[in-house]
């Protein structure tokens, strides 16, 4: 029986009843905050295309970390910007590299924070691609060998979790084997399992100096037109030992998040990427939208689609709203 016996508006009468029947909630516990850490001193450099987001040097990073801790955000995701780049990204496994030093600094000064490291090469290579080149393409298996060295180096520095983002075939298996052989069996892997070759990454490439010097990344990142392929990528990563799987970007790929959540039992992360962040910031600055309301609705859509974890540059703003600070 439908109307008039059933009137769905009964459960929308006021805020209290809406709260009681609300199906999804955003919590600070859902959030991971990305950080850009640049080699050098006295650096706090705002990223022009990402208002409110900065590159930090280690001698100033506590300004940001203190806020993150005070807001109760449980985890950070680290991206490094080194001074030295080469053809293979060898700085990624340098024990005195910027990420390795950042991990040690955070674990010593902010032991409450859970430290996740992005595992890739694009910020560290002269050509800006995500591994070892063979001609104008990334050679998969040689890149896996270097990835093993990178993750072991991160683990030795004290990383709590590693997150491979390069979309190399077999990368989770390679990482799991390398970590286990080095004695780091307890370190989990959050795989960028369904990472699409997206135009939404533009501001990030400004932030991390990671734009490719030629071509694009469509030979290793996924075609935005493909949906079923994402399930294959995720299933392979799970077989290889992934502990968490990720969809990136999030907002234009809510169907992918939903498919993965329905099909698999692992935690699902959504990466609310730089372009999604910057569009809200730009429209908010122009007064075209209510920035905070659109921001919260956006991340709620990711939660509703099935995301257990949301990686977002809005994390501090969201946490402040949840704490009633804005």
Q: Enumerate the active-site residues.
A: 195, 248
Q: What are the E-state strand segments in 75-120?
A: 75-81, 114-119
* Total Cβ atoms within 10 A of residue 211: 13
Say which residues have a Cβ less than 8 Å from residue 164's Cβ, sequence separation at least 6. Answer: 119, 120, 147, 151, 171, 172, 175, 189, 191, 192
CA–CA separation, 187 and 155 (whole Å): 8
Rg of the chain taking only CA atoms, in angstroms:
20
Q: Is 109 helix (H, G, I), strand (E, B) or coil?
A: helix
Say which residues have a Cβ less than 8 Å from residue 257's Cβ, sequence separation at least 6. Answer: 247, 250, 268, 270, 302, 305, 306, 307
Q: Is 67 helix (H, G, I), strand (E, B) or coil?
A: helix
């Amino acid at each position: 029986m439908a109307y008039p016996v059933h009137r769905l508006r009964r459960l929308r009468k006021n805020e209290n009843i809406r709260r009681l029947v609300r199906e999804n909630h955003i919590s600070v516990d859902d959030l991971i905050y990305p950080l850009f850490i640049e080699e050098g001193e006295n650096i706090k450099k705002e990223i022009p295309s990402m208002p409110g987001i900065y590159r930090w040097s280690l001698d100033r990073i506590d300004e940001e970390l203190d806020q993150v801790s005070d807001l109760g955000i449980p985890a950070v995701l680290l991206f490094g910007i080194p001074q030295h780049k080469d053809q293979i990204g060898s700085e990624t496994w340098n024990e005195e590299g910027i990420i390795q030093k950042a991990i040690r600094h955070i674990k010593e000064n902010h032991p409450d924070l859970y430290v996740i490291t992005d595992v890739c090469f694009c910020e560290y290579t002269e050509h800006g691609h995500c591994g070892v080149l063979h001609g104008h393409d990334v050679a998969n298996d040689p890149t896996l060998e270097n990835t093993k060295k990178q993750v072991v180096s991160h683990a030795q520095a004290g990383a709590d979790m590693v997150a491979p983002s390069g979309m190399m075939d077999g990368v989770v298996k390679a990482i799991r084997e390398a970590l286990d052989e080095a004695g780091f069996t307890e370190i989990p892997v959050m795989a960028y399992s369904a990472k699409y070759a997206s135009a939404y990454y533009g501001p990030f490439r400004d932030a991390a100096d990671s734009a490719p010097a030629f071509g694009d990344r469509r030979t290793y990142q996924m075609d935005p037109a493909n949906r079923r392929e994402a399930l294959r990528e995720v299933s392979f990563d799970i077989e290889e030992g992934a502990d968490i799987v990720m969809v990136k970007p999030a907002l234009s790929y809510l169907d992918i998040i939903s498919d993965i959540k329905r099909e698999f039992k692992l935690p699902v992360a959504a990466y609310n990427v730089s372009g999604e962040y910057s569009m809200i910031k730009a429209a908010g600055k122009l007064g075209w939208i209510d920035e905070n309301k659109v921001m919260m609705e956006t991340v709620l859509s990711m939660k509703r689609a099935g995301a257990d974890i949301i990686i977002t540059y809005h994390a501090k703003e969201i946490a402040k709203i949840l704490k009633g600070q804005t």
